[in-house]
Structure 1
């Protein structure tokens, strides 16, 4: 096997055996681990290196309770019991950082005044970065529980007041347990989802 390929064990950890967890052990997640996750996820590609994701790691009981109050009932206990739930937000003025992040072109000018392009780019690329976060977390031995099912306006007011950052989705992080773990749902086959032209 090439040195450039991940092992089957690694692929199982990140993809094949990884699950969306609904309940969590009491084992904590440290700030060092959260930093390590970010250091990996930030290396993933985004359009023009725009990197619009802004993260709030709700680790304290106070922050988790505040976030749980913004979630639909079925998600509240997941947030309360997870050692960390991260809010993946999107900076709607991400383009202001492009002179530093993409210095070889005037990329900022592509976005200024183009609200549709800003919204599309922020949504697509912050979602990509959220996926990189989950892959990084799994690669570092943590489990994930991504979710929608929250009041976007409430989360905005509670965690991003007075800013141009809006929430995209949430993801619990920690060490999952098998309690409330559903059987793995089927996936579409290659032939059902793909074509080669």
Structure 2
């Protein structure tokens, strides 16, 4: 099917950069990912929507080989080498104590938010997981907007990573993402569901 371009506000080049031409990367060049690039990515993705503006996503950047060696011992074998060789790796986690910062973003609702989530850990974690997942989608788009490629992975022992990096905190690992300039050929684009398979109008 021909790409639908005209109804969209983004230029075709921007659409291609963020969506059509973008791929999950498994190999990267040795070009570094700079702090300025990461800050620019954050400056975009911080606007992701979250319930009551709770913003539960936390990002831990692993740049040194030593830090990534600590990580890969807890990852599936197929994810280890590419993580060690990526210019930058990010552990994307949720903060299960997001409610403690409610006053910074909703001063007039601080007591309500703390009351709602403070005594119900299961509700707090499920809310944090859903909203952090929304932020993760934005994070990947932000990486693409910087002209970089993202390689998100879920093949790891999350509890072991939590113990390794977040012991004594309420953070819980959700996704690990390798970031950099892609090297080699992209995987061919796999089929996607059609509009008719996805959308129902009532």
SS at match of 1:70: coil
Identify the match of residue 18 of structure 1 among 10, 22, 28: 22
How far apart are the structure 2 equivalents of 1:69 and 1:39?
32
TM-score (norm 1): 0.93
How far apart are the structure 1 equivalents of 2:176 and 2:33?
16
TM-score (norm 2): 0.91
Q: Choose 94-103 or 48-57, whichever is displaced more.
A: 94-103
How far apart are the structure 1 equivalents of 2:86 and 2:162?
21
1:192 aligns with 2:192: no
Number of corresponding residues: 195
Identify the match of residue 100 of structure 1 among 104, 119, 129: 104
Identify the match of residue 77 of structure 2 among 73, 76, 80: 73
Whether the 8 Å contact between 2:75 and 2:156 is mirrored in structure 1 is yes
Whether the 8 Å contact between 1:50 and 1:102 is mirrored in structure 2 is no
1:83 aligns with 2:87: yes
Gaps of 5+ in 1: none
Tell me the C-alpha RMSD between the 2 structures.
Answer: 1.7
How far apart are the structure 1 equivalents of 2:184 and 2:46?
30
Gaps of 5+ in 2: none
How far apart are the structure 2 equivalents of 1:43 and 1:182?
30
Shift of 1:11: 0.8
Identify the match of residue 36 of structure 1 among 37, 40, 57: 40
